[in-house]
Chains A and B, each alone.
Chain A
Amino acid sequence: MLETGAETQAIVPLLETKSLLCERDDRVLFEGLSFAIHAGDITQVEGPNGSGKTTLIRILCGLSTAYEGNLFWRGKPMNRCREQFCQQHIYFGHLTGIKAPLSAEENLRWMAQCRGSSLKGLALDHAVDQALAKVGLRGFEDAPVYTLSAGQKRRVALARLFLEPVPLWVLDEPFTAIDKHGVAELEAIIEQHAKQGGAVVLTTHHELSIDPSHLKIIRLGDAREGV
Chain B
Amino acid sequence: MEPVYPPLRQGLLAIFKRDLIIAFRQRSDLVNPVFFFIMVITLFPLGVGPEPEILSRIGPGVLWIAALLSTLLSVDSLFRQDYDDGSLEVLLLSPQPLFIIVLGKIMAHWCITTVPLILVSPLLGVMLFLDTETIKVLIVTLLLGTPVLSMISAIGAALTVGLRKGGVLIAVIALPLYVPVLIFGTSAVEAASMSLAFSGQLAYLAALAIFSITLAPFAIAAGLRISVSG
Contacts and interface: CB of A to CB of B under 8 A. Distances in A.
A86 interface: yes
Nearest to A94: B86
B89 A91 contact: yes
A83 B25 CA distance: 33
Interface string A109-122: 11101111110000
Interface string A53-64: 000000001111
Interface centre among A102, A116, A117 (most CB of B within 10 A): A116
A63 B93 contact: yes
B174 to A, nearest CB: 26
Contact of B89 (A83, A97, A109): A97
Given A3-B1, A97-B86, 16 more contacts: A3-B3, A61-B93, A84-B95, A89-B93, A93-B89, A101-B25, A101-B26, A106-B18, A106-B21, A110-B15, A110-B17, A113-B11, A114-B14, A114-B90, A114-B96, A118-B4
B111 interface: no
B42 interface: no
A116 B90 contact: no
Interface string A84-102: 1011010101111111111
Contact of A63 (B5, B26, B89, B101): B89
A50 B85 CA distance: 22
9 contacts: A62-B93, A66-B229, A87-B3, A95-B85, A95-B86, A97-B87, A99-B87, A106-B21, A118-B4
A213 interface: no
A149 interface: no
B21 A114 contact: no
Interface of A: 3-4, 61-66, 83-84, 86-87, 89, 91, 93-102, 106, 109-111, 113-118, 144
A144 B24 CA distance: 14
Interface of B: 1, 3-6, 10-11, 13-15, 17-18, 21-22, 25-26, 84-97, 101, 225, 228-230
B contact patch SS: helix
B89 A64 contact: no
Given A64-B229, A84-B3, A101-B26, A114 B94 contact: yes
A63 B92 contact: yes
Interface centre among A4, A65, A87, A117 (most CB of B within 10 A): A87
B6 A117 contact: yes
B25 to A, nearest CB: 4
Contacts of B95: 83-84, 86-87, 115-116
A115 B94 contact: yes
A91 B93 contact: yes
B228 A63 contact: yes
Nearest to B94: A114
A101 B22 contact: yes
A61 B96 CA distance: 15
Contacts of A111: 90
B4 to A, nearest CB: 8
